[in-house]
Structure 1
Amino acid sequence: MMKKYRRVVRWSRWAAIATALLGASAVGAQSDMPALQPFTIDHEVRVDSAADARFVHDGPAGSHGFIRVQDGHLYRGDGKRFRCWGFNMTGWAKGSAELPDHKAAETYAAALARLGVNCVRLHFLDRPDTAFPIRNEGAGISTTAGPFTHPPRGLIRGDLPDSQHFNPEQLDRLDYWIAQLKKNGIYADFNLNVGRVFKPGDNVPDVDLINNAKGFTYFGPELVALQKDYAKQLLGHRNAYTGLRYADDPAVALVEVVNENSLLEFWARNWLRGERTKDGLNYQLDMTPHYEALLVRMYNDWLAKNRTPAQVAELHRMAGIPSDQPVPFMRRGDHPDAPHLRLDAEIAFLTSVEIGFHDEMKRFLKDEVGVKVPIIPMADHTYFMANQPLLRTLIKSDIVDAHVYWQHPAIYGQRNEPMVNSPELSTILKLARSAVAGKPFTVSEVNEPFPTDYGAEMVPILASYASLQDWDAVFFYTFETKVAGEWTPMITDHFDMTLDPVKMAQMPVGAMIFLRGDVSAAKTMLTRSYSTDQIREAARLTRAAMPYYTPGFDVRIPLVHGSRVSCLDCKPSLPAPLGAMNPIVSDTGELSWLTDGGKNGLVSVDSPRSQALVGFISANKVETRNLSAQIRNRFAVITLSSLDGKPLNLSNRILLTTTGRVENTGQKWDERGSNLTVWGTAPTLIEPITGWVTLKDLEGAIGVFAQPLDGSARPIGKEISGKMIEPGWEIPIGNPATTSYLIRVER
């Protein structure tokens, strides 16, 4: 009782501080814009609620057999279609844990289930079990982390000279965590090679220079052997709480081999120079002389087997190398003018190394470890580069996977721009470029990172268009279980969504749209194909000229129809361009994306069970069948979802979310709008969406009532009575400040 009392006092203190700060700063604010109000998330006090989306689960994870690939999608063992909606699990932010203790495992497994999450991607398990805090504050704030970060504490013992032994306590935490997730209907995706740091005791060449060995892991024999050993230890381990090896547990849905790791990326980004040395400049990434020599030797052996003697002689001549010396790789600056023979040879060789590695890892995982579920080799993650060469590797796999971020803080200059204003640059289009006909498509990392004034748009847009495209999985990056007594109610990291009031409010909405299938798949699937010449020319383009798709492809197509790659190295084809279209309307008629010359964008979702208005609502006269809004806010996201499975016009229990801007108390942007100079303090603040929402066409309704909910889905304040007006039932919103309402309809 005393511990709970202290938490209430602490929360009250944060709210009082925030109210004082807001009062002081509100003097110069526009009187017609709602002032920011404290609003926090606390998963530790969540309880079952009528607003939960737990009903999207079908019992304990794995109870219907192993997940498998069938007809280009994921299916359960009982023949029912399977989709993943969930999070990556990490532990970067202060007060977070990569692997929760037992009590936290029970708390957060239940919390995730209530949010509608049915899958988690276990990321950074291959990190050491020790953590060294990194402090980044003020003007020198890091572009990749919040003010207080530390590497996640994983499974590998940090007190030994090698990276080959697990910490028994951490392994026990993983076992209990998996057991609790399984009990709550949540499947696991094991991500194998992510952030492992190799040590001298591993007997790896240049161990002090290769960091976490991205790129090297494809061909360094010692590194390949160590990856196999790790996979066998982990997936061959028997969980003490389920009695099953992870390889034999149907609650494990997917296994991923490497994360954001590609030799073709190294080649495209000029990281095969072989100049990484102890005393070198070492700009970004590069091969060490040892690994560069090994790769060049492999390349020349490959040339001898796959090119004619005349072609090999010509390659020597092109490189200006005597015939008794190995042909080297080009530098990136040589690519634009490189002859076809040389460019094709390098791309083909590096592709063969990637495919060979992944074929062998799949064989090892299936035959020697006994993995029974689909295997993801790697992700298309370089979404700011042409991806056609990488597709040759991806198309050989069980599943095609991709990562994308809207204005990632580490690779984007000016930020804080709404995606809803730029459909042609949206995450949907960047992801859709990778989907392949006949293959499941998964998104294992995605986010609209904090800080941003527009993060509320992410979940409903992504869930809706992922459903339109009929994708198979979406994992947001990231969710971090909190350590009791060590966390504060604020956002402490660019990517951690756990305490974000806006994104947490919308996760159940996304679960209903994507898992329940509230938004229909496109009626028409359009495909495109690439010739060898197109793939080659895409590879040599400068970054500024690199397209998401083949030049001539109408990038709006994935917002209207299904979109897939049909084949590579074949006769090229493109679907016909779309005609003039504003708004851009899906062929199902359920989704509409409107812009006004790159401003005042609005996405509307209009399906029987879920509807939404996303963006600049006040600037547009747009409504859906059952939803309209008159609000004071310039930007907002309002969603309406049936909680009882009935169409909205017949539903008696509905989730209404009203979300907008979120900040930490006292945060300050830099002059450019690219990051924060002051990260701020607790508590988190929301801009309440104020005005009126009208629920229309509610058949037979004689009363409509809205219960405001707090950040733990508990009632706050009194139930609000709707007013019957000519168009429908009008509900005043914004007082008290909240992100969610539980709507009750009496008939």
Structure 2
Amino acid sequence: MSFLNEDEKPAGRRGFVRAQGDALMFGDGSTARFWGTNLTAAALFGTEPQAVRQQARRLSRLGFNLARIHHHDSHWVKPNIFGPAGQHDTRRLDPAMLERIDWWVKCLKDEGIYVWLDLHVQRQLRAGDAIAGFDEIAKGRPGVEFKGYNYVNPEIRRSMQRFNEAYLGHVNAHTGLAYKDDPAIAAVLVTNENDLTHHFGNALLPDKNVPHHTAAYLREARAFARAHDLPERQVWRSWEPGPSKRFLNDLEHRFNAEMIAHLRRIGVKVPIVTTSLWGEQMASLPALTDGDMIDVHAYETPGPLARDPRTAANVAHMIAAAQVADKPVSVTEWNMSPFPAFDRHVLPMYMAANASHQGWDALMQYAYAQTPLQQPGPPSNWHAFNDPALLSSLPAAALLFRQKHVQAAKTVRVLQPTASQLFDEGLTAGGTAAMRIAAERGRLLTVLPEVPQLPWLRPGVVPIGARHVDDGARQLADVRGSELRSDTGELGRNWKQGVFTIETPRTQAALGRVGGRSIDLPQVRIALTNAEASIAVQSLDGKPIDVAHKLFVSIATASLPKGPKQAPFFTEPAVGVIEIEAAAGMALQRGPHGAGSTSDPQLDYGDGKYTLRFAGKDVVQWVVLSRPEQTAP
């Protein structure tokens, strides 16, 4: 898939990424659409230079055009950005570790891959950082994370700002550009998974034995209550819905405003994201609108395709609910757990298809690796680089998403909660059947209300022609049987069968419980005996499948490791047939870009269609059909 990046080399050649309305744009006015992954922890600091170059090339071949640098500061990563373990403080960035990240950025940039930088993930403050109140949160430990405390402790905020100045102002030894001046940097995230509205507000409560921070928190709560004539006894109670959620959003907002203003002052030009929606409370959304994008963390459990939207949400519904009017959407983490989920192979194509239909802008699988990449590495939920189930379907997902094989939704359905529904009633992402059904059929958009206590919150505007998500009665009545189709007719999900289908001119696919039945798509028929699989047939030359001269077939099947952290993986070979109606004259490629051996599959052509026969003799993940003269997409 590296041809997808050929016109993007080096990354940044189109100018700085910016948010414009609900889309991402490059400086030259072209649309930015990112299919990405995460490089984390020891993969950043322990991968040898030559392996970094090789892996950057491999990421391009897999179709990625964005990589998020993550867990660079986390205390459990040794060494991390501050150097080896045992440092007295975190005031200085280690030059040798910075150079490791510099080299990743350089190699990724050369391959046309943009970089997303997190500023704070799991940094631990230490005694040498001289932060007021350190002792009460450390409780005798040498270091402590500061999530939640940063919202009420100005010294922690100044420490974060000093880090941001040093990190973003540092000149890359290999590009000659500071990160803040490099258009290959696509976006920055202020603080990872660190919100008050759902998670860390409770860390500041009186029963947590942090009197310095609790006193600051209660002062802010009383001031907010008095300013807005709200009951003080409720405003500080962070675990309850109601006035506390308004207050916590405001407290987050003040932190966000300070950090964003500082980043702009030091010269950051790209979109800034505050933190992420991780969890389902939509009361967290107002403060997230301070950023240029709404970011989501989305973790699925096995069986998402078999979940009835009338009764339960899956990952696509939860992300869709975070699409706030006039804001782009990024998903810096998506994955399925617990590992090894039997059907994890369905997720790349399912995510890519829904992202295209909904109009999401940047998706990052979590994670490509968090181990040094000159080694095979153990099986892990955080290692896609050695996981056959994911590797077999990620390139197909990249092709679909980046080339827009799936149409954007034709209709928009708007969720327009009142302030009371948002803050007092505990509205959740995907929490109603009406929301879930709306997200399957068309684009779901959330329009936030005007909130008198949050004058900084810009209320959304309902797009012309949009339909409102009602109480669900009418939409529930419209659901016939156990299947829903998108308003474009291209996507369909049958939850009784546990099958998701994609039917477009350039991609036709079936994911999930495909075994034991014939699945008939416009130009493709799939008939396998494998209980679970993800099969995609795609055009590689930009033409519809039936007239294309180069086709890409992806076969993802069940794959389990020998043990929880033990290689090798054991992958089920495909058994059955895939028929493709397409132009005559193509042959099966064998070798590094096609099928592996002469045993499987066998290819026949007749009556205007190719038949690929899989006898279960080999594990074949990719098949390329092309005319002999076709050497490039």
Worse overlay, 479-488 or 176-185: 479-488
Matching residue of 1:499: 386
- Is the aligned partner of 1:376 residue 2:273? yes
- Cα displacement (A) at 1:56: 6.8
Which position in structure 2 is the counterpart of 1:359? 257
For 2:324, give the aligned amino acid: V
User: Within 1, Cα distance between the matches of 2:89 and 2:105?
Assistant: 26
User: For residues 229-240 of structure 1, what are the structure 2 equivalents within 5 Å?
Assistant: 229-240=162-173
Report Cα offsets for 1:262-288 as digits up to 9, x if no partner.
1111377x44433345xxxxxxxxxx2
CA contact (8 A) 1:189 1:255 kept: yes
1:560–1:495 distance in 2 versus 1, CA, 3 Å: same
Q: 2:324 aligns with which of 424, 436, 442?
A: 436
Aligned: 1:583 with 2:456: no
Q: Which residue of 2 aligns with 1:736?
A: 618
Letter in 2 for 1:119: L
Aligned partner (choices 475, 494, 497) of residue 364 of structure 2: 475
Provide the secondary structure at the position in 1 that maps to 2:270.
Answer: coil
Alignment of 1:61-140 (within 5 A): 61-91=11-41, 96-98=43-45, 100-127=47-74
Q: C-alpha displacement at 1:152, in angstroms?
A: 6.0
Indicate how the Cα distance of structure 1 residues 717 and 645 shifts in structure 2: closer, same or farther if over 3 A, else same. Answer: same
Alpha carbons of structure 1 residues 643 and 612: separation in structure 2 relative to 1, 3 Å: same
Which amino acid letter does the alignment assign opposite residue 736 of structure 1?
D
Shift of 1:213: 1.3
Q: Could you tell me how far 1:99 is from its partner in structure 2?
A: 5.7
TM-score normalised per structure 1? 0.76
Give 1:214's aligned residue: 147
Q: Deviation at 1:689?
A: 1.4
Q: Which amino acid aligns with 2:251?
A: V
CA-based RMSD: 2.5
Q: Which amino acid aligns with 2:620?
A: T
1:715, CA displacement in angstroms? 5.7
Question: What is residue 595 of structure 1 aligned with on the other side?
Answer: 495
Looking at structure 2, the residues matched to 256 and 458 of structure 1 have their Cα atoms a distance apart, in angstroms, of 25
Cα shift at 1:328: 7.7
1:307 paired with 2:228, answer: yes
Q: Which amino acid aligns with 1:421?
A: A
Taking the aligned partners of 1:181 and 1:536, their CA distance within structure 2 comes to: 42
SS of structure 1 residue aligned to 2:124: coil
User: Structure 1 residues 375 and 124, CA, compared in 2 at 3 Å: closer, same or farther?
Assistant: same
Aligned to 1:247: 180
Contiguous gaps of at least 5 residues in structure 2? 452-458
Measured in 2, the distance between the counterparts of 1:503 and 1:380 equals: 25
Name the counterpart of 2:236.
Answer: 329
Structure 1: distance between partners of 2:144 and 2:207:
15
Q: Which amino acid aligns with 1:221?
A: P
Aligned to 1:285: none
Shift of 1:111: 0.6
After TM superposition, give the deviation of residue 732 of structure 1 in Å.
1.2
Larger Cα-atom Rg = 1
Q: Distance in 2 between matches of 1:431 and 1:633?
A: 30
**Partner-residue secondary structure (3-state), 1:401:** strand
- Secondary structure of the 2:207 match is coil
1:718 to 588, 598, 607: 598
Deviations 1:544-597 (A, max 9, x none): xx643575634111111011112323799942443124421111111110122x
2:529 matches 1:632: yes
Contact 1:237 / 1:246 at 8 angstroms: preserved in 2?
A: yes
Show the counterpart of 2:456. none
Please say if 1:390 is aligned against 2:276.
no
2:587, 2:625 within 8 Å by CA — same for their partners in 1?
Answer: yes
Alignment of 1:670-681 (within 5 A): 679=564, 681=566
Distance in 1 of aligned mates of 2:79 and 2:518: 50
Counterpart of 2:445, as a letter, is: R
1:508 and 1:638 map into 2 onto residues whose CA distance is 12
Deviations 1:213-249 (A, max 9, x none): 1111222111101110000000011111111111010
- Partner secondary structure for residue 649 of structure 1: helix
| CA shift in 2, pair 1:429/1:225, >3 Å | same
Tell me what 1:420 maps to: 305
Match of 2:217 in 1: 295
Q: Is the 8 A contact 1:526 1:564 kept in 2?
A: yes
- Map 1:411-560; keep pairs closer than 5 Å: 417-422=302-307, 424=309, 425-449=313-337, 450-480=339-369, 483=372, 486-488=375-377, 490-491=378-379, 493-539=380-426, 547-549=428-430, 551=432, 553-560=434-441
Tell me the CA shift for residue 88 of structure 1: 1.4
Whole-angstrom distance in 1 between the partners of 2:50 and 2:237: 55
The structure 2 residue matched to 1:155, chosen from 64, 72, 81, is 81
Q: Distance in 2 between matches of 1:260 and 1:108?
A: 27
Long gaps (5+) in structure 1: 1-50, 132-150, 278-287, 320-326, 337-342, 408-416, 540-545, 668-678
1:202 equivalent to 2:129? Answer yes
Whole-Å separation in 2 of the counterparts to 1:328 and 1:604: 48
Residues in 1 aligned to 2:4 and 2:570: alpha-carbon distance in whole angstroms = 27
One-letter identity of the residue aligned with 1:500: D
Task: Give the C-alpha shift of residue 53 in structure 1.
Answer: 5.2
Following the alignment from structure 2 to structure 1, what is the Cα–Cα distance between the partners of residues 362 and 134?
Answer: 38
| Maintained 8 Å contact 1:57/1:118 | no
Output one character per residue of 1:317-366: Cα deviation in whole Å (capped at 9) or x when no partner.
xx4xxxxxxx883373xx47xxxxxx32x222221111111111111001
Summarize deviations over 1:129-165 as a string: whole Å, max 9, x none. xx6xxxxxxxxxxxxxxxxxxx364211344311111
* Equivalent residues of 1:59, 1:184 under 8 A apart: yes
Aligned CA distance change for structure 1 residues 55 and 167 (closer, same or farther; 3 Å):
closer
Q: Which amino acid aligns with 1:380?
A: L
Distance in 2 (CA, whole Å) between partners of 1:91 and 1:174 is 11
Change (3 A) 1:160 1:289: same
| Inter-CA distance 512–185: structure 2 relative to 1 (3 Å threshold) | same
Report the Cα distance in structure 1 between the residues aligned to 2:162 and 2:120, rounded to whole angstroms.
11
Cα distance, 1:98–1:691 mapped onto 2, change above 3 Å? farther
Query: Cα 1:605–1:714, aligned 2, differ >3 Å: closer, same or farther?
Result: closer
Counterparts in 2 of 1:566 and 1:328: CA distance versus 1, 3 Å: closer
Residue from 572, 578, 590 that aligns with 1:707: 590
| Alpha-carbon displacement from aligned partner over 1:72-131 (angstroms, at most 9, x marks no partner) | 200011111001111111136xxx455633212211111101111000111112235xx6
Which position in structure 1 is the counterpart of 2:455? none
Query: Which residue of 1 is the match for residue 205 of structure 2?
Result: 273
Is this contact kept in 1: 2:148–2:204, CA < 8 A? no
Structure 2: distance between partners of 1:527 and 1:741: 41
In structure 1, give the amino acid aligned to 2:572: E
Question: By how many angstroms is 1:483 displaced?
Answer: 3.3
Cα deviations across residues 417-439 of structure 1 (Å, max 9, x unaligned)?
32111153221001111111111
Shift of 1:619: 4.5
Q: Please give the alpha-carbon distance, in whole angstroms, between the structure 2 residues aligned to 1:90 and 1:98.
A: 9
Tell me, what secondary structure is at the counterpart of 2:545?
A: coil
**3-state SS of the aligned residue for 1:584?**
strand
The corresponding residue for 1:174 is 101
Can you list the C-alpha shifts for 1:491-547, whole angstroms capped at 9, x where unaligned?
Answer: 1x22221111121122211111111111111011111211111123233xxxxxx64
Q: 1:399 aligns with which of 286, 293, 299?
A: 293
Q: Give the CA deviation at 1:746.
A: 6.2
Alpha-carbon separation, structure 1, partners of 2:606 and 2:343: 32
